[in-house]
Structure 1
Amino acid sequence: MSRLQHPNIVRLYELIDDPRCDQQFLVMECVRGWTLQRPVARRESIPEEDLRHWLREVYLGLEHLHIHGVAHRDVKPDNILWDPEQRRAKLTDFGTAALLSHSRDAPVGGTL
């Protein structure tokens, strides 16, 4: 995940593995905004221009993942953050992501 640096992917800065308590901690980029589920839940009418912008941002993030052999496998509004300061949609929650084999695009090692 740390090698997947892209403006449309929430950045992972560090992974802390604490063997004393058998837990892992992710230090990630702080995105001050909301998920794209918020306007869905509120039944807001979103202007077409905004929707095109959001989808383009998601597409660019997914394209970057696929170029690097990663399948997100859980793309939904809850896993897309909107950063109003940068006007950028960012993919997050890679808990079900998988590495792909470029030869046949099949998962090769389970989840990331």
Structure 2
Amino acid sequence: MYTGYFATASNRADWTEAVVLTDAESGEVIDIADCRVTLTVADDGGCVRLRASTDDGSITLPDVGTFQWDFDATQMSGLCPGAYRVGVRISRDDRTVQLVIGNINVMEGIDQQ
């Protein structure tokens, strides 16, 4: 499981991240083609502000072992500047693993054109 911080994001721009899963021992990429991946962004009070999932296509699997999410600027504009919690889980059959428990800082975008 990864714990830590994502790079700072703007609430006036897209936020796209891609994660590649590799086996810690062999270094080989893990095939996640048959997996469900979900992501939740919540504020400090626990209110969910953003969600993404392979169920609705907001998380994609662009390559073997890779998942990617893309929140557009309109979605990000709903986030006030501040710190948010991020969780990512992956499921296959009846097994679920927490991949990420992290944080992201969102800053107020300056350019308003």
Same fold (TM over 0.5): no
- Indicate the structure (1 or 2) with the bigger Cα radius of gyration: 1
In proportion to residue count, which structure has more strand? Answer: 2
Q: TM-score, normalised by structure 1?
A: 0.29
Q: TM-score, normalised by structure 2?
A: 0.29
